[in-house]
Amino acid sequence: DRYRGAVALVYVHDGTVQPGDEVCSHHSKRHYTVKAVGVLKPQEQATSRLVGGQVGYLVCNMRSVSEAHIGDTLHAKSSKVEPLGGISPAQPMVYAGVYPMDQSQHVSMRSAIEKLALNDPAVTVTIDSSPALGQGWRVGFLGLL
């Protein structure tokens, strides 16, 4: 969301999550303050808290979609936990060099590639540079599309 930052879809394994809570990402070790929580029915419906066993959304001060990792374990800032297993990183088999037609389109293309990587955990993205084509990305996929 443009004004709220990245909105994460979460499963609450144990405990509760409510606005004002401090959470920590196990993957990036960054700390966030929960701004809002709710459930999808199919639109967002704000709730006062999410409890263990619920699936809902979480809005915190994640400003970029690159901060949200699929399969990451978020936990209370005050507690140390082992990450929940389940999602192993995919190994790409097909790579593409992606460059904007005009370098003025670099920012909008970066945003689109970040959204693609967020929606598909099998996509890997690394920054690439070419003297002829300029700044771009090396994008890895599981197979042919």
Which of 21, 39, 30 lies closest to 73, judged by CA?
30
Residues 99 and 134 in one domain: yes
In the listed set 76, 103, 119, which residue is the last one of a domain according to the structure? 76
Residues 58 and 18 in one domain: yes
Tens digit of pLDDT for each residue in 10-31? 999 888 999 999 998 887 888 9
Q: What is the pTM of this model?
A: 0.65
Unique residue bearing structure tokens 């959304």: 57
- The answer to whether residue 87 sits within a structural domain is no
The total number of structural domains that make up the chain: 2
CATH number of the domain at 117, please. Answer: 3.30.70.870
CATH number of the domain at 45, please. Answer: 2.40.30.10
Tens digit of pLDDT for each residue in 38-66? 999 989 999 999 999 999 999 988 887 67
Sheet bearing 134-141, strands edge to edge: 94-98, 134-141, 124-130
